[in-house]
Amino acid sequence: MDNPKHQSDPSEDEDERSNQKLNSTSPNINLGPSGNPHAKPTDFDFLKVIGKGSFGKVLLAKRKLDGKYYAVKVLQKKIVLNRKEQKHIMAERNVLLKNVKHPFLVGLHYSFQTTEKLYFVLDFVNGGEGHVVLTDFGLCKEGIASSDTTATFCGTPEYLAPEVIKKQPYDNTVDWWCLGAVLYEMLYG
C-alpha cells in the first residue's frame, strides 16, 4: 500500500510543511541504547495516522525490508525542546525499553531521529484479542520504590487520585485509584 506521489506524507502536517524553514535544524537528542543510527524514515511506507498527541502523531507504517507493520511515533523535536520536555520523552522511552516482552505493554523496537523529528518504532497492536495493551507512558514517573513518596503532579488528569490533585505527598497506591477509575469508565462509560 504505497503512497502515490501526489499524496502527502502522513508523517507531516500541513502546518509543518508551511512553517518549515530551509535552514532550521534541531540538535540531536541522545536516544541511548534504543538509538539506531542507520534507520531512516525512508525505511518505511507510512500508511495512515492512527493517533495524535501534543508533540506529534502515531503512524501505521510498513517496514520495506520485511513487510512488517509497526506503530511509529513521530515527535517534533522543536516542540519537545521548546517545551523542555526531553526528560518526559526519555522517561517514556526508558519505560518502553524495559518492557519489550510484556504482553500488556507495547514494546519499543528502536528509535531514530532526523534534523526535525524523533521516531519511536513500536509494536503495532491491531486489537481483536480482548485485552488491554498500554501504549503511552509520556506522563509516567520513574524510580519510585514501594516505600517512597512524591508530590509531583503527573498522570492522566481524568484519573488522578485526590492526593495528587491536592498536591499532597503520595505513594504508589494512587495507581490503584487510577486503575479503579479506568475500570469504572470501561464498565459504565
Annotated binding site for ATP: 73
Full DSSP string of the chain:
-PPPTTSPPTTS-HHHHHH--TT--------GGGB-TT--GGGEEEEEEEEE-SSEEEEEEEETTT--EEEEEEEEHHHHHHTT-HHHHHHHHHHHHHTTT-TTB--EEEEEE-SSEEEEEEE-----SS---B---TT------TT--B----S-GGG--HHHHTT--B-TTHHHHHHHHHHHHHHH-
Annotated binding site: 73
Cβ atoms of 72 and 93 within 8 Å: the answer is no
